[in-house]
Structure 1
Amino acid sequence: MTTRLLTPRPSQLARDAFIDRYGDIYEHSPWIAAQAWELGLDAAQDTPAGLAERLREQVDAASAEAQLALIRAHPDLAGKAAIGGELTDDSRSEQAGAGLDQCTPEEFARFERLNQAYRDRFDFPFVIAVRGLDRYAILAAFETRLGHIREQERRTAIEQIHRIARLRLEQRATESRSR
């Protein structure tokens, strides 16, 4: 099996070019890519797995406040940003892939109620890597995770964000191969 490489290769990019290309992997948080670049990049970070790990290290080393800001940078699922067309391209594609753009009015209302209950309980949005899930599985996860304690849910949200980042990098490697 051949290891897929990211194009352009992260290790070969100047700081600004790296941040332009990979700064959006973590939603509205280019500081993560900037810190990863500052550490130095080599061929190990030219693969989706390698770059995902380097980016992950920056998030995991960040303060709890910075991690909460990262979580809060994510939109509500099937929320006002989605309805208003204000999602990033990645978020729009991911939510559409899970069928969230095809919810019935009743399902949108349920998402809205769960989003509000979740925000009221945890003070940040519900984050889940939706790729491979449908809206029914997402709604079930909402219900389950509302039973968590805040610290457990903060850690779960960060793990889901790492999964989203890894999937986005893998998607970019696939897209660059097909060009």
Structure 2
Amino acid sequence: MSAALLSPRPSQLDRDAFIARYGDIYEHSPWIAAQAWELGLEAAQDTPAGLAERLREQVDAASANAQLALIRAHPDLAGKAAIGGKLTDDSRSEQAGAGLDQCTPAEFARFEQLNRAYRDRFDFPFVIAVRGLDRHAILAAFETRLNHTRKQERRTAIAQIHRIARLRLEQRAAESLNR
């Protein structure tokens, strides 16, 4: 999938068009795309892998506060935003793909309990790339990660956010092939 080209090609877009197309790859954080564009984009960034790496570099070079804001831009899994229909299109699709929109009342209650415990412990939401996982695997990961230190969880959350971004870029490349 990584050899596929993104369409439109990032290297051929002006700043506004690039941010409009790729500014939502990282949840509610178009500053990442803006900084990537400012560095200049070449043909190497026209693939999901190439653009993912360029965007990743911006996050990894960001301040701890900016990284924390990025983590906090993510919604709780199966939380109030999901129930209230306030997720981004990408988040809604990803959560539905993992079956989080089909939780039983007991599972919703468990997600609420774990979301609350996680936020109380780490002061940011639990972030996991849900594509390819089901709600049972997500709940198990939740419980495991509650045992991490705050430093471990910040690193894990950022790694998961990078994975989400890469998967979103790969999805867009696949969609452009199918048009």
Post-superposition CA distance 1:85-135 (Å, at most 9, x none): 000000000000000000000000000000000000000000000000000
- SS of the equivalent of 1:65 reads helix
Quick one: distance in 1 between partners of 2:95 and 2:165? 15
2:140 counterpart residue number: 140
The alignment's TM-score, normalised by the length of structure 2, stands at 0.99
Counterpart-to-counterpart distance in 2, 1:131 and 1:43: 28
Corresponding position of 2:12: 12
1:3 Cα shift?
1.9
Partners of 1:76 and 1:91 in 2: CA distance: 10
What residue number does 1:95 align with?
95
How many aligned positions are there?
179
SS of residue in 1 equivalent to 2:121: helix
CA distance, structure 2, for counterparts of residue 130 and residue 41 of structure 1: 29
User: What aligned pairs does 1:1-179 form with structure 2 within 5 A after superposition?
Assistant: 3-179=3-179
CA distance in 2, matches of 1:33, 1:84: 28
How big is each residue's C-alpha offset from its partner over 1:29-51, in whole Å with a ceiling of 9 and x where there is no partner?
00000000000000000000000
Structure 2: unaligned runs, 5 residues or longer? none
Find the residue that maps to 1:18 and give its secondary structure: helix
Does structure 1 retain, via aligned residues, the 8 Å contact 2:2–2:48? no
SS at match of 2:167: helix
- C-alpha deviation, 1:66, in angstroms: 0.3
Which amino acid in the other structure matches residue 52 of structure 2? Answer: A
TM-score by length of 1: 0.99
* Ranges of 4+ aligned residues in structure 1 off by more than 4 Å: none
- Residue 152 of structure 1 aligns with an amino acid whose one-letter code is Q
User: Which runs of 5 or more structure 1 residues have no equivalent in the other structure?
Assistant: none
Q: Letter of the 1:89 partner, please give it.
A: D
For the residue of structure 2 that corresponds to 1:77, the secondary structure is coil
Question: Residues of 2 paired with 1:133 and 1:56: CA distance?
Answer: 23
